[in-house]
Amino acid sequence: MRTRSGSHKTRSPATGRPKEYRSVLEETFWLSANTFELRLARPEGFAFRAGQHIRLHSQGLERDYSLTTGPEEAPLGLCIRHVPGGGVTPALASLEPGEELTFSGPRGHFAFRPSDRPAVFVASGTGIAPFAAMVRSGVRGFLLLHGVREPDELYYENLFLDAAAEVVPCLTGHGTGKSPRTDAFSGRVTAYLESQLPRKEYDFYLCGREEMIRDVTLLVDEAFAGSRVYAEIFFAGAGD
Ligand SMILES: Cc1cc2nc3c(=O)[nH]c(=O)nc-3n(C[C@H](O)[C@H](O)[C@H](O)COP(=O)(O)OP(=O)(O)OC[C@H]3O[C@@H](n4cnc5c(N)ncnc54)[C@H](O)[C@@H]3O)c2cc1C
């Protein structure tokens, strides 16, 4: 069935149990050669907190995606990497505007918690998504490390440049992307933290690949005593 606007089945407070919603795709916007933003009609009654995710239903499968937009914004944004041969992302990448999607949510507890300690956001690849939502909900003054291979994968960079105290792109590729960058840190986010970040207490927010989260958490334990770590794992194994 196709509809033009989102609709809700049951009301759900942002902190309540996930509910099922119907929506339609408004637009697909490609952020790079392999990553796209889905813009979904916001179902009436759907509420969430910045940093939370939804569970999309597609191809008889379910996959989780963090919302990139602020809690008051519409349409809803999702930043999705096209995984060749993946069970769901190839189908999501080829959706046409107007096609219906169902999802459940909101889900998760990855939210910004203000404190006296400086906030350090660390993302790998599409792990940048919940941080975009946090900025759009008003979070400011953090240090952002975004680990990617090539500069054209630094999604939402202008949004972060306006909101962050500092943005450090951490590039692990060979600079063969469309727009080579000389101002970036060359290496992994863990290498930057280990070699550049002054030793004191921070609130670390980590999102993306499991290996990055494990490595940064171990480093924090060793080098940044008294710090807190909040983490959202997107996937384990190969990938960016
Ligand atoms: C809480 C949560 C939030 C998530 N939010 C996002 C999000 O905002 N954006 C997003 O793209 N994915 C996100 N994911 C991952 C997403 O749920 C899917 O696993 C992913 O889109 C792959 O789905 P698939 O069916 O196409 O691939 P599958 O058939 O499930 O193949 C999975 C393989 O693809 C690779 N892979 C999975 N996700 C990524 C990725 N993001 N980047 C690179 N390689 C990957 C891994 O090697 C993984 O083993 C999130 C996962 C969780 C648990």
Q: Rounded to an integer, what distance in angstroms lies between the CA atom of residue 211 and that of residue 13? A: 33
59: left (phi over 0), alpha (psi -120 to 50) or beta: left
Residues 6+ apart with CB under 8 A from 179: 151, 152
Q: Rounded to an integer, what distance in angstroms lies between the CA atom of residue 78 and that of residue 123? A: 15
Pocket of ligand 1 contains residue 65 by CB under 6 Å: yes
What mean pLDDT value characterizes the chain? 92
- Which range has the worst mean pLDDT, 83-87, 132-136, 225-229, 234-238? 234-238
Pocket of ligand 1 contains residue 79 by CB under 6 Å: yes
pLDDT in tens, 187-203: 999 999 999 999 999 99
Q: What is the pLDDT of residue 181?
A: 81
pLDDT in tens, 88-124: 999 999 999 999 999 999 999 999 999 999 999 999 9
Protein residue with its CA nearest to atom 9 in ligand 1? 80
Q: Are 29 and 36 in contact (CB under 8 A)?
A: yes
C-alpha dihedral sign at 179, 26, 11, 1: negative
Distance 235 CA to ligand 1 centre (A): 6
Tell which atom from ligand 1 comes closest to the C-alpha of 87. Answer: 25
Q: Give the rounded percent of residues in the chain with a pLDDT score beyond 90.
A: 85
**Residue 62 predicted with pLDDT over 70:** yes
Q: What is the separation, in whole angstroms, between the first and last Cα of the chain?
A: 35
Decide the pairing of beta strands 100-107 and 76-81.
Answer: unpaired
* Domains parsed from the chain with CATH numbers: 7-107 (2.40.30.10), 119-235 (3.40.50.80)
Q: Rounded to an integer, what distance in angstroms lies between the CA atom of residue 17 and that of residue 107? A: 8
Protein residue with its CA nearest to atom 28 in ligand 1? 86
pLDDT in tens, 7-50: 344 334 455 678 999 999 999 999 999 999 999 999 999 999 99
3-state secondary structure of 26: strand
Pocket of ligand 1 contains residue 80 by CB under 6 Å: yes
Q: Rounded to an integer, what distance in angstroms lies between the CA atom of residue 17 and that of residue 27? A: 28
Distance 214 CA to ligand 1 centre (A): 17
CA distances to 27, 56, 70, 135, 141 from 92, in Å:
11, 10, 22, 26, 34
Q: What is the pLDDT of residue 234?
A: 98
* Longest distance between any two alpha carbons in the chain, whole Å: 56
